[in-house]
Each structure stands twice: as structure tokens, then as C-alpha cells.
Structure 1
Amino acid sequence: MGNGVCSRKQRKIFQSLLFITVVFGLIYGGMVSYEMHKQLKRTEAMALKYQQHQESLSAQLQVVYEHRSRLEKSLQKERLEHKKAKEDFLLFKLESQQSVNKEKNQHDDLKKQYYELQEQHQAQDQDHSKVLNEHEQRFDHLQQTKELEISKLKGISSALPFTTLWYLFAVF
């Protein structure tokens, strides 16, 4: 073995092994790099696919939110309409009840007026009967008085001449 640690033959073997190792290392590194590059492309493609899927889901979610917003507005509008219809119904019910009460009160007032008028009529009828009785009594009294005067005049007329009698009848 000579002047160094290794002989020339061994050095060539060592250099060949080192060269083969470096070549295989480079090949292996190239293959690993190629696989990693391929894996990176697949990962990028998958990331792009997931990003597109996420954008699609975001768009769908946006549509769902818009639809939900429209539904909420529609529901709110329906609630307001229902509330208004309920208020209108209650107002109508109140007005109709007030109308019924008013008509009932008017009916009661008219009934009261009717009974008052009926009482007045009865009172006037009684007053009329009373006045009629008084007039009949006065008429009977006047008739009796007249008959008495006629009988007196007949008594006087037989004593007086005919023309005087005529004059007396003309005056009365």
C-alpha cells in the first residue's frame, strides 16, 4: 500500500462508489423533486378545486341569505297585514257593537217617548172627556134655561100682541 491511506485501486473504487452514490443521489433527488412537484401540482389543483367549491358554496349561501331576507321581509309584511286586518276587524266589531248599542238606545228612547206620548194621550183623553162632560152639562143647563125662557116668553106672548112677539124673536 504505499504512500497514502488507500491504494490507487481502492481510490478508484471509492471514487466510483462516490460517483455512483452522487449520481444515484442526484437521480433520487430528481425523482423526489419530480414527485414533490407532481404532488404540489395535485395539491394546487385540489386547492383550486376546493376554492371553486368554496366560492360555489359562498354563492349558494349568498342566494340562501337573499332568499331568507326576502322570506323574512315577506313574513314581516304578512304579519303587518295580519295585524292590520286584526285591528280592522276589531275596529269593525267595535263600531258594529256601538251601532247596535246606539240602535238599542234609540229603540229604548223611542219606546220611552211612546209610553210618554201614550200617557199624555190618556191624560188628554181624560181632560177631553172632562171638558166634554162640562160642555154637555153647560149645554144641558143652557138648553134648560132656554126652554124656561121660551116657556116664559110663551106666557108673555099670549099677553102681548103678535107683532111684539115677532120683534122679540127677531132680536134673539
Structure 2
Amino acid sequence: MGNGVCSRRQRRIFQCLLLLTVVCGVLYGSMISYEMHKQLRRTETMALMYQQHQESLSAQLQVAYEHRSRLEKSLKKERLDHKKSKADFLVYKLESQQNLNKEKNQHEDLKKQFYDLQDKHQVQGDDHNRILDEHKDRYDKLHQAKEVEVSQLKGTTTTGFTNPPSDY
């Protein structure tokens, strides 16, 4: 056609460099995607672990509630028995008082365990939220770094070739 800005050899080198840049960009994007998916899988595994632990704590709380209910039913039954039994009133009253004190102590112990479990549950929930926030921050930083790299790559490709060949 005529003398262009670039010779065929220069154009061929330019095309090879452009292809190499595209291939490197695709490989880099694939690596970033793989790492992000791997990190996501780790986060999902940790979330599942925390969920299982939370379910375990909930089951323990349910057992504590059931035990409390049984203790309350037992206490009601003993009170009814106490009303029915007038002959052994003094002996029964002493035994009943001892049982009541024991059950109150057990009840207080269970109440303390319940509040301890609630506190542990809260702490684990806070830890889970903190870890989740850290992962989100890490993801945002990776995303921002990727965007900066992409914009830098775009900047180098557009500024390096201000006069495109006229044959395109």
C-alpha cells in the first residue's frame, strides 16, 4: 500500500508483545480468581465450624432448660406430697427443706452455667464477626489492588502507543 508508520516487522513485534501482555493478564486474573475462591472456601469452612459450635451451645442450653423444668416439676410434686403427708410432718419438712436447698443450689449452678454459655456464645459471635470483617477488609484490599493494577496496565497500554497504525 504505501509506507506506513510501522514496518511489517515492527508491527509483528508489536502484535506479539500485545498477545503476550493479554496472555499474562489472563493468567494473572486466573491466579487472582483462584486465590479468591480458595479464601472464600476457607471462610465458608470457618463459618460452618462456628455454626456447628453455636448449634452445640444451643443444644446444651436446651438440656439446661429441660433440667430446670424437671427440677421445677420435682419441686411441685414434693410440695404436693408435703401437703398430703401430715403424720410425718416434721421429718418430711426437714427432708424437704434439704432437698429444696440442694435444688436451689443446683438451679443456681445451672443458671450460672447458662449465663456462662451465653457469654461464650456472645464472645464467639463477636469473634466470628471480627474474623468476617477482617476477611471483608482483606478482600476489599485485594480488589482495590487489582483495580489499581488494571488501571496501571490500562495506563501503560494507552500511553505507550499514541499513534496507532493506520492499517487497523
TM bucket normalised to smaller: 0.3 to 0.5
Q: Which is bigger in relative contact order (C-alpha 8 A, separation at least 6)?
A: 2
Normalising by structure 2, report the TM-score: 0.43
Larger relative helix fraction: 1
